[in-house]
Amino acid sequence: MSAGRKTEPFADSRGSGKEWQPRARRAAQIARQLEDRILGGEWLVGFHIGREAELATEMSVSRWTLREAVRILEAAGLVSNRKGVGGGLFVASSAHAFVCKKVANYFEFIRVSGEEFGTTHQALGRLAMTTAIHNLTAEERSDVEAHLAEAPDPSMARKLVEVGYIHHLLVRASRNPALVLFAGVFSRLTFDASIYSDLDDATWRRTFERMAVFIEGMARAALAGDLAGAQDGHDGFALICREIYEASLTYLGKPITAAATQRAYDYFPPARPMKKADLVERQIREMIWERGWPVGTSLGSEKELLDRFNVGRAVLREALRSLEQLGVVEMGRGSRSGLRVISPDPEVAMDSCRRQLQRDRMSKTNALAVRRMLKDLASDGDDGRPIVTLIERAIAS
């Protein structure tokens, strides 16, 4: 790459933001170049990519553009930026959570049926238990046992954290990256649905209690080498997740209520957004859901959004970066200026999955096992099975 420095127009923080848009697109290009080198295996986890000033010079962009690219990659979980001596940009541990969020966002938009949600989740879980039960190491067994011992905690919030981690441990023991990834997608869909639930308080709380019972039963069966018991436990867990998903206000097309979200925050405090940018992101998503996801509709100019949410430009742009990566919105230009609602692209969701599986070194043997399992689920045809179709394309070699 050229060692020269590219001159870019200075964007006055008091201006309309027009100067920001071309530079933001350039930042996205730089982010993709860096992402390609990470996902291609050239830079492994922990690799020191370099310092901001050095990278900006190497890539012939301004410090502003490089910083914006870094923020994009940080939001995706691909890099971390450390300060001080020995600092700089490093390859982070995983982009798993962001990919799960992106794919779950796409499934929410197309409103996949509860039937496909349930049957696919159940089938993936059964396959995971089949392999995990034979793969559990002594260390993993000890870890599961330790979290089972913590699960009886009288605080349901604490119990949910413990059983959630137990489920993650069991699926991870399958040693199949596709099963781990899509278990994360279903967990994200269930989590979002639980925040915007239409269930009454008693039923809503009882649902989580039943979920914990099924996961604990699944874990004990797996530790005992009882495959049928482990699969039955996951079947029950998948059924509960489906019930939660189908009772979501967003799935039902009903208005989101403050009471529903507050109940979730009170019951499970980690569900509450901790950063201002995360809160703004959630509020914009709720605006879109409230309006029925009207593709092409303007949500307002940057100034209008700043006034609406009473935040600074940096906070708003951080929220918008995440939503833009999720394929929810884009900032228009010219006569189409302002924040516009867009339709999430299935190709982007699929490509994100494929890249994550490449990063996790998905093997042909693992892909074949998932493909065989999906064969029966695709009997209704690709058009009627968007989850199956996306998984099949993501694992295709």
The confidence score (pLDDT) of residue 244 equals: 98
CA distances from 97 to 44, 49, 107, 248 (A): 18, 22, 15, 21
CATH 3.60.10.10 fits 258-291+296-341, yes or no: no
The confidence score (pLDDT) of residue 46 equals: 84
Report the alpha-carbon distance of residue 54 to residue 123 in Å, rounded: 49
Domain with CATH 1.20.120.530 in the chain: 97-253+365-374
- β-strand pairing of 48-50 with 79-82: unpaired
The confidence score (pLDDT) of residue 43 equals: 83
Q: In a structure prediction context, what are the per-residue pLDDT tens digits for the chain, which is 397 residues long?
A: 333 333 333 233 333 444 445 666 788 889 888 887 876 667 877 889 999 889 999 999 999 899 888 888 887 678 888 887 788 899 875 678 888 988 999 999 889 999 999 999 999 999 999 999 999 999 999 999 999 998 777 788 888 889 999 999 999 999 999 999 999 999 999 999 999 999 999 999 999 999 999 999 999 999 999 999 999 999 999 999 999 999 999 999 898 989 999 999 999 888 888 788 889 999 998 888 888 878 888 899 999 999 999 999 888 988 888 788 778 898 876 555 789 999 888 988 998 899 889 888 899 999 999 999 988 776 544 456 899 999 999 999 6
For 259-262, which contacts have Cβ atoms below 8 Å and span 24 or more sequence positions?
260/195, 260/196, 260/197, 260/198, 261/195, 261/196
Report the alpha-carbon distance of residue 63 to residue 116 in Å, rounded: 46
For 310-313, which contacts have Cβ atoms below 8 Å and span 24 or more sequence positions?
311/276, 311/280, 313/13
The confidence score (pLDDT) of residue 112 equals: 94
Neighbouring CB atoms inside 10 A of 8's CB total 15
The CATH class given to the 20-93 domain equals mainly alpha
The confidence score (pLDDT) of residue 13 equals: 33
Domain with CATH 1.10.10.10 in the chain: 20-93, 258-291+296-341
Residues 219/166, Cβ–Cβ less than 8 Å: yes
The confidence score (pLDDT) of residue 164 equals: 93
The confidence score (pLDDT) of residue 113 equals: 94
Residue 197 gets which letter from DSSP?
B
CATH code for the domain defined by 97-253+365-374 = 1.20.120.530
The confidence score (pLDDT) of residue 21 equals: 53
